[in-house]
Chains A and B, each alone.
Chain A
Amino acid sequence: MRLIAKFKSLQRDWVSWVPTLWLGIFFLIPFVVVLKISLSQATIAMPPYLPLFEWLEGILEIRLDFGNYLFLIDDPLYGSAYLESVRIALVSTIFTLVIGYPMAYVIATAKEPRRTLLLLLVILPFWTSFLLRVYAWIAILKTNGLLNGLLMALGLISEPLVVLQTDLAVYIGIAYTYLPFMVLPLYASLSKLDRTLLEASEDLGATPWISFVTVTLPLTIPGVIAGSLLVFVPAIGEFVIPALLGGNDTLMIGKVLWNEFFANRDWPIASAVAIIMLFVIVGPLMWLNRINSKIEEAQL
């Protein structure tokens, strides 16, 4: 009996070890490597940075260079790139939420088999290349593109709108790309919602809109938070969308990182940019996570 219990606890341990191991190999080790590079000095060599630890005549020499971080703080370009990234990611997330919530609501309240079909349609764009889909938006948004053509044909505008290479195009691109990440957690949250609660609120005199505001919305906040994080976090570091749809003055941290890495070949600076970005994201993430678990606790 004891042996079996021991074996079972070992098994249980294994189950928790697998994700730990996964995170260790694919997150922690690369993170340490990046951290290490960010603290070293750039040089023209292969790899293009100096080692941190060196044996010099039997003495271990450790050279930590915080200059990369100081440089990032000194140069206003990086600060504004971070702020700009957060702003664009925030606006895009709100944009996605406003579009995604009604979509998730319709899917969650649809009857089978319509529900499955609608869910499939949400995921369907993933079956084609992401890059292709962003390119397609260029064709839609450009000055003599589909959107302007349609609006002018309808007589709604007389001159073409300039959308491409503006922040708006970036919002559209991010919202379009990340919409499924918003819709799916919202759908999970909404379909879990007990319908009799809405009958109860209606019974007590709440119009459908008041029922939504006082019952549906508060009870689906965990879905809103989860969906928003899934959009917000990758949107901050987004590179392809601002590069293709944004203008030259759209300065996002992903683009800065790319430039440092590939154009300037300054790996240490690029690594420092990445490390700071991680902390920019982790702060709000942990805060939202705490709110989320509090709400879910109350609902159990």
Chain B
Amino acid sequence: MSSSPLLVKNWLDPDAKPFIEFRGVTKLFDGVPAVRDVNLSIYQKELFCLLGGSGSGKTTLLRMLAGFEAPTEGSVWIDGVDITKVPAYERPVNMMFQSYALFPHMTVFDNVAYGLKRDGLPKAQIAERVAELLDLVRLSAYAKRKPDQLSGGQRQRVALARALAKRPKVLLLDEPLGALDKNLREDTQLELIKIQESLGMTFIVVTHDQEEAMTLATRIGVMDEGYLVQTDEPHTIYEYPNSTYVADFIGDINLLECVVTENDAGNLVLSAPQLETTIDLDDPVTGAVNQTLWYAIRPEKMRLARDPSTAVNALKGVVHEIAYLGDFSVYWIDLANGFRVRVSRPNISRMDDFAEAWGEEVWITWDGSAGVVLSQ
């Protein structure tokens, strides 16, 4: 978790040595690019999440680190060593597979012991180590079972124990929680973080679930069509997306196409035709007059009001629909020109002022620093 006091933010230190590096990595499958020119540095003890939709190249990138795919161009480094040509079975990384890939003909014990046996460890030591791991994932009672006699959650934990067994320098997790139901997922997420922190390992997690990435990650790398489009801490990714793609992919957002109408020494005034108004900005943004920009503002950064008199930015609209989600409600507000704005509002009181405001005329207000201006 980004708030953990144990965390050293190595990526902010320009002198820090990266632990894992992708240098200009491109991967083509039959001429079709899956990963395009990725440069990425991951530091020791990070819990790094690769986030993207299906076909974004995140799994291919992970598989190149594990050694199951060879990059078409570029190189992969671990701890200062170029491992691009090292076969998977000699790499100091272990992977937890999306399908878990447990050996069906072996018991839980033998599954976890598999990697240790390959290292030629003495039997007593293997038994001790496996017992330790099964204890860690709370499966000690299941050592003699076969994978088909376990529940989904138990299999997931066996897969984790097996991947941790060799104490790899890096643990790769491919959609580790994908097959679990929601409650189990949340518990397991916290458990993963606990394990990662207590073992001091570097975790790289591939996921398509942004909530999971936000919960787990020290940093997130967002991928789209093979490109690594933004790499930042979860907070930065959410509040300061660098492109409309990232803004739209992570969380909900109102995206408005704008034109710069004034540039008074860096203080821009944007005209948003969809809003039929101008937007005042607090933050300095670069942009020339008449340039097209996007103004992105998240629903929870806008407020509803009956009286707009004190607001910097205000728009009049009619409440089209209200979705009550318990902890907050989402309001779809139609402007006079038909453009629909999404506003979310925490349900601070049991009966909110706007809870039954269907069809009412309301004002949407927001601060000058609430939105982000994006140039692409």
Contact = CB atoms under 8 A, between A and B. Distances in A.
A19 interface: no
Interface stretch (A66-74, A101-109, A181-189, A194-202): A194-202
Contacts of A295: 105
B72 interface: no
A300 interface: yes
A219 interface: yes
A299 B88 contact: no
Interface in A60-103: none
A218 B114 CA distance: 14
B118 A210 contact: yes
Interface string B87-115: 11110011101010111110000000011
A201 B66 CA distance: 12
Where chain A touches its partner, the secondary structure class is: helix
A200 B119 CA distance: 15
A204 B105 contact: no
Given A199-B68, A199-B88, A204 B97 contact: no
A200 B97 contact: yes
Contact of A196 (B99, B105, B165): B99
A199 B115 contact: no
Nearest to B104: A299
Contacts of B146: 298
A214 to B, nearest CB: 8
A210 B87 CA distance: 14
A298 B67 CA distance: 30
A201 B97 CA distance: 11
Contacts of B114: 201, 204, 206, 214
Give the interface centre of A197, A200, A214 by most chain B CB atoms within 10 Å.
A200
B121 to A, nearest CB: 11
A110 B118 CA distance: 28
Nearest to B93: A203
A215 interface: yes
B186 interface: no
B166 A204 contact: yes
Interface string A276-300: 0000000000000000000100111
B360 interface: no
Given A202-B88, A205-B166, A215 B103 contact: yes
Nearest to B148: A300
A197 B103 contact: yes
A299 B93 CA distance: 28
Nearest to B88: A202
A129 interface: no
Interface in A243-300: 295, 298-300
A205 to B, nearest CB: 4
A202 B105 contact: no
A206 to B, nearest CB: 5
Given A299-B104, A299-B105, A207 B97 contact: no
B36 interface: no
A199 B101 contact: yes
Contacts of B102: 200
A299 B118 CA distance: 23
Interface string B56-76: 000000000011100000000
Contacts of B155: none
B342 interface: no
A190 to B, nearest CB: 15
Given A204-B118, A215-B103, A196 B97 contact: yes
Contacts of B103: 197, 200-201, 215
B298 interface: no
A295 B148 CA distance: 12
Contacts of B148: 298-300
B104 A219 contact: yes
Contacts of A210: 118
B104 A204 contact: no
Contact of A200 (B87, B90, B101): B101
Interface in A109-165: none
Given A196-B101, A206-B89, 10 more contacts: A196-B97, A199-B68, A199-B95, A202-B68, A203-B94, A204-B165, A205-B166, A215-B103, A299-B105, A299-B148
17 contacts: A196-B97, A199-B95, A201-B103, A202-B68, A202-B87, A203-B66, A204-B89, A204-B115, A205-B90, A205-B118, A205-B166, A206-B118, A215-B103, A218-B105, A219-B105, A298-B104, A299-B104
